């Protein structure tokens, strides 16, 4: 995938290596520390001053030097985010709307978001509360282990999470969340699958337009994207966990469904073809 010569996004928040990350002693732990200090006669304000570097994540002494690989991964993510911005801005503009660009947060092991605490085990996710995409780049190694190596496989993951931001801006996510509260857990899972498959389709739309505008795709890239979509299907993940395949427990869709919808968006580049909710009333 051609990405090195493209521009970089300014919407990157890098919390890796102690850079701008949340304090691990924060939240309840910090409150308890201050209460105990107050009971023992210490000055909580003074303690806050001592902890100031941790609170802001700006204590250079606690920062970890990023490796060359880590730095390149950050450059890659920034370049792909720029591509998403260069695609979604004109699509929204053509529809008479404004695209509010999301921020992508890079973190290591754990972080906090507008949606609460998350660890690397959560995987990449989008938080509608703060309109940010979160990713521990260790997920890329996991993706490779699952059989989906390559730049475009990684770009697909970013494109999918940004697609959730698009759904949020269009109001789809909110409608699905409201409907999920009114139905059974099985039906709520089915709605989640439809939302995720639409995000796969939107990721395909992004890739289509990115290639048309910037000639980013190289030979073999489409296969990498399809392999990535197939590798993280619910049925495959259930088998890998040693469980029987249970469609009622799907939240993202089967490998076949994810490939199908990603290809729909990639082939047509048309948002209207991504109506996974056809026939379903979302209010």
Tell me the pTM: 0.83
In the chain, the percentage of residues whose pLDDT exceeds 90 is 66
pLDDT at 195 over 50: yes
Place of tokens 């051609």: 2
Q: How far apart are the C-alpha atoms of 66 and 81, rounded to whole Å?
A: 20
Rounded to the nearest 10°, the torsion over CA 183, 187, 193, 195 is: -30
Instruction: Look at strands 132-136 and 125-127 and give their pairing.
Output: antiparallel
Q: What angle do CA 30, 33, 37 make, to 5 degrees?
A: 140
Which pLDDT score is estimated for 146? Answer: 85
Residues 6+ apart with CB under 8 A from 213: 86, 87
Long-range contacts of 90-95 (CB under 8 A, 24+ apart): 91/205, 91/209, 91/271, 92/169
Q: How far apart are the C-alpha atoms of 200 and 232, rounded to whole Å?
A: 12
Residues 6+ apart with CB under 8 A from 190: 250
pLDDT at 265 over 50: yes
pLDDT at 283 over 70: no
Helices 172-180 and 151-170: crossing angle in degrees, nearest 10, is 80
Q: How far apart are the C-alpha atoms of 216 and 205, rounded to whole Å?
A: 14
Task: Give me the mean pLDDT over the 51-71 stretch.
Answer: 57
Which pLDDT score is estimated for 63? Answer: 61
Which pLDDT score is estimated for 272? Answer: 94
Residues 6+ apart with CB under 8 A from 107: 15, 16, 21, 120, 134, 135, 136
Which pLDDT score is estimated for 65? Answer: 81
Q: What is the DSSP-derived secondary structure letter of residue 67?
A: P
Strand segments, DSSP code E, in 97-254 are 103-107, 110-113, 116-119, 125-127, 132-136
Task: Give me the mean pLDDT over the 177-200 stretch.
Answer: 96
């Amino acid at each position: 995938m051609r990405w090195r010569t493209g521009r970089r996004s300014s919407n990157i928040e890098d919390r890796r290596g102690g850079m701008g990350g949340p304090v691990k002693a924060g939240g309840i732990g910090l409150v308890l520390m201050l209460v105990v200090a107050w009971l023992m006669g210490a000055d909580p304000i003074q303690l806050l001053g001592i902890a100031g570097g941790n609170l802001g994540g700006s204590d250079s002494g606690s920062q970890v030097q990023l490796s060359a690989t880590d730095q390149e991964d950050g450059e890659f993510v920034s370049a792909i985010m720029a591509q998403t911005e260069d695609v979604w801005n004109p699509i929204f503009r053509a529809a008479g709307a404004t695209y509010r660009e999301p921020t992508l947060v890079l973190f290591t092991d754990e972080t906090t978001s507008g949606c609460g605490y998350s660890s690397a085990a959560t995987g990449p996710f989008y938080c509608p509360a703060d309109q940010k995409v979160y990713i521990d780049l260790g997920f890329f190694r996991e993706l490779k282990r699952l059989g989906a190596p390559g730049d475009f496989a990684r770009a697909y993951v970013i494109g999918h999470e940004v697609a959730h931001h698009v759904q949020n801006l269009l109001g789809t996510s909110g409608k699905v969340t409201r409907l999920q509260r009114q139905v059974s857990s099985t039906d709520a899972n089915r709605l989640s699958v439809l939302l995720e498959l639409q995000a796969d389709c939107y990721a395909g739309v992004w890739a289509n337009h990115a290639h048309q505008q910037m000639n980013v795709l190289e030979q073999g890239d489409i296969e990498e994207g399809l392999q990535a979509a197939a590798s993280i299907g619910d049925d495959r993940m259930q088998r890998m966990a040693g469980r029987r395949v249970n469609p009622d427990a799907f939240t993202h869709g089967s490998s076949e469904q994810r490939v199908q919808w990603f290809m729909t968006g990639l082939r047509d580049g048309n948002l209207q073809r991504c109506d996974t909710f056809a026939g379903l009333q979302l209010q």
